[in-house]
Amino acid sequence: MESSLHRQLKNLYAPSDDAAEVSVDGYRIDAVVDDVYVEIQQSSLAAIRGKIKKLIRKNEVLVVKPLASRKYLLRRDQENGPVVRSRYSPTRKTFADFFLDFVHFVEIFPHPNLKIEILLTEQEEERLTVKPRRRRQKDYKVIDKRLRSIEDRMMLATAEDLSRFLPAELPTEFTTAHIAREKEIPRWLAQKMAYCLRVAGAIELAGKEGKSNLFRLVDAEPGKTRRRAA
């Protein structure tokens, strides 16, 4: 079932009802804007990788990835019942969290026909209390998500765009430990970031520092951008 969040974002991008939920080459496209196909993906990017890979052969595609920078939680004990609890979640996502998902999608990025827009959003998540069937299973299920606001956004089209995720204060040659320390993120997340930037061509291996890989930025030729061939 389509969430309210997905429907709200689709309505933001589609200029009219006729431009939403369009059938193209056997696929259902969320919106078409000036001949650009817009695909809004709340869940894993890996799930649409094959679809996007085929579409970008002949079409311009914009993938929209919303992240919850803030989430307001509503709990109900019965469907359509009153809200019994509400609070803000302590978990707050940042642009860096994009790499948790992008690591499974980066093999097709960059591409001349592909852009990705990351949205940092405030969301409202509605939960229904359920009885866990197994140990460690959650005692609720998410029944809807709604958009409260868009707090920030970032557009990605080239390998250079990915290098914007790196902290400003980095040595010429750096490790994932440098990234983690300057960005104040876990080392394992910095490793995913470095992997994605390397696959996309934004950084390259520069050697070793002990057991850690050293990286450096890939210099682009003046006036040119690094894009994966069509």
How many Cβ atoms sit within 10 Å of the Cβ of residue 201? 19
Q: How many Å apart are CA 175 and CA 101, to the nearest integer?
A: 21
pLDDT single digits (tens) 92-136: 999 999 999 999 999 999 999 999 999 999 999 999 999 888 878
Write the single-letter amino acid at 32.
V
CA-closest candidate to residue 10, choices 125, 147, 115: 147
Under 8 Å CB-to-CB from 11, ≥6 apart: which residues? 20
CATH code assigned to 159-230: 1.10.10.10
Work out the average pLDDT over 205-220: 90
Mean pLDDT of 49-54: 96
Query: What is the reported pLDDT for 15?
Result: 84
User: Domain segments of the chain: what residues?
Assistant: 4-157, 159-230
Q: What integer pLDDT is reported at residue 225 of this predicted model?
A: 41
Least confident of 3-12, 14-23, 59-68, 143-152: 14-23
For the residues 64-83, what does the mean pLDDT come to? 96
Instruction: Determine which helix (DSSP H) or strand (DSSP E) holds 106, and give its type and residue range.
Output: none
Average pLDDT over residues 1-6: 92
Would the pLDDT of 144 be above 70? yes
